[in-house]
Amino acid sequence: MLTNILTKEDTHKQLFTMGHTGCSGCAQSMAVKLIMQVLGKNTIATSATGCLEVFSTKFPESSWNIPWIHSLFENSAAIASGIEAALQITGKKDGTTVLSQAGDGGTADIGLQALSGMFERGHDVLYICYDNGAYMNTGYQRSGLTPYDSFTTTSPSGKISFGNNRPKKYMPEIAMAHKIPYTAVASAGYPIDLQKKVKKTLSIKGPKYLQVDVPCVPGWKYEPRYSVKIAQLAVQSGLYPLFEAEYGKITSVKKISKRVPVEEYLKLQGRFKHLFKNEAGKAEIEKIQKIADENIEQYGLL
């Protein structure tokens, strides 16, 4: 399933092709490519405003070799609902996947209402949230999915602040609370697991929610070569639990194979560097460790 080596020719044949303007090391673009390899060409995609939309469709160029539409920031799920309705009434739905995409901001904040509506109405749509933990496209501002103590440009660390003072919104649980047929959390650090989950969505009718952890080079402030490593450390530390759920019940979790303290994950990223300056920062790291420990406990990750 996973294409390991691609020739230049192959790359051009991809449904999400090279030539876009994403940063080198952008895990979001890696994830999209992996996802499109599984979904195949009978897919109609929507994108919310955000990095992916901007870096992949600079007119007159487009990286999408499938029908693709961007409308606004908060309506990806509603646009997808309309597409699905049009396909249903014209008898073209069978064999066509409707893919709705947005970033964490476009999903968990401004687009949450439209997403909840799409879930509740039961559209046959695969919704994918590319979670890079902030509004990257507009310059790394805080979103509802920004992790605890992360520096962002609107939750900066400062003399009396350690950055974002709220934990990440439990977005997959919000999706699960809609009792949709399938919810999954995946990571750009685990491509085979990601593709397996995407493949599974193809056999399920109704709304599906997939959230993918996609490290962001300039937003998280690390060297491009660490994208995959950081994504893996998020999972191995327990900070980003990967699991699947059906109709609101967890059906599988990806076990941690080699547990690491959260410090290993945090220290590679500039967005957490203020935690490594003094004793007070240490205490904050302990709080983050507690979040990871609780995840491990709650999802049974060991």
Ligand X SMILES: Cc1ncc(C[n+]2csc(CCOP(=O)(O)OP(=O)(O)O)c2C)c(N)n1
Task: Name the site residues for other proteins (rule: CB under 8 A).
Answer: 41-44, 46, 53-54, 57-60, 62, 64-72, 74-75, 77-83, 85-90, 96, 113-114, 116-117, 120-121
| Smallest gap from residue 230 Cβ to ligand SF4 (A) | 12
Beta-bridged to residue 100, according to DSSP, are: 46, 127
| Smallest gap from residue 37 Cβ to Mg ion (A) | 23
Residues 126-155 that bind Mg ion (CB under 5 A): 132, 136
Beta carbon nearer to ligand SF4, 96 or 138: 138
DSSP 8-state symbol, 146: P
Beta carbon nearer to ligand SF4, 103 or 172: 103
* Residue 132 binds ligand SF4 (CB under 6 A): yes
| Smallest gap from residue 28 Cβ to ligand SF4 (A) | 5
Cα dist. 290→48, 275, 285 in Å? 34, 15, 9
* Residue 103 binds Mg ion (CB under 5 A): yes
Per DSSP, the residues of 200-232 read HHTT--S-EEEEEE---HHHHT--GGGHHHHHH
Residues 61-80 that bind ligand SF4 (CB under 6 A): none
* Residue 226 binds ligand SF4 (CB under 6 A): no
Short-list 226, 210, 221, 214, CA closest to 187: 214
Options 6-14, 19-27, 69-77, 192-200: segment touching ligand SF4 (CB under 6 A): 19-27
* Residue 137 binds ligand X (CB under 6 A): yes
| Smallest gap from residue 144 Cβ to ligand X (A) | 9
Short-list 212, 15, 184, 193, CA closest to 97: 15
List CB contacts of 88: < 8 A, sequence separation 6 or more.
Answer: 124
Angle CA 216–38–238, to nearest 5? 45
Of ligand X, other proteins, ligand SF4, none, which one does residue 149 interact with (CB within 5 to 8 Å by kind)?
none
Residue 23: phi and psi, rounded to 5, are: -65, 150
Residues 209-238 that bind Mg ion (CB under 5 A): none
Of Mg ion, ligand X, ligand SF4, none, which one does residue 49 interact with (CB within 5 to 8 Å by kind)?
ligand X
Burial 239-273 (b: 16+ CB within 10 A, else e): bbbbbbbbeeebeebbebeeebbbbebbebbebbe
Longest CA–CA span in the chain (Å) reads 64
Rounded distance, CA 20 to CA 282, Å? 40
- Single out the residue of 15, 36, 44, 51 in contact with ligand SF4 (rule: CB under 6 A): 51
Exposure of 102 by Cβ count < 10 A (0-12 exposed, 13-18 middle, 19+ buried)? buried
Of other proteins, ligand X, Mg ion, none, which one does residue 138 interact with (CB within 5 to 8 Å by kind)?
ligand X
Residues 107-136 that bind ligand X (CB under 6 A): 130, 132, 135-136
Of other proteins, ligand SF4, Mg ion, none, which one does residue 104 interact with (CB within 5 to 8 Å by kind)?
Mg ion
* Residue 106 binds ligand X (CB under 6 A): yes
* Residue 104 binds ligand X (CB under 6 A): yes
Cα dist. 190→34, 130, 244, 292 in Å? 11, 14, 14, 19
**Does residue 68 contact residue 46 with C-beta atoms inside 8 Å?**
yes
Residues 32-61 that bind ligand X (CB under 6 A): 49-52
Rounded distance, CA 187 to CA 27, Å? 9
Interface residue list for ligand X (CB under 6 A): 28, 49-52, 73-74, 102-106, 130, 132, 135-138, 143
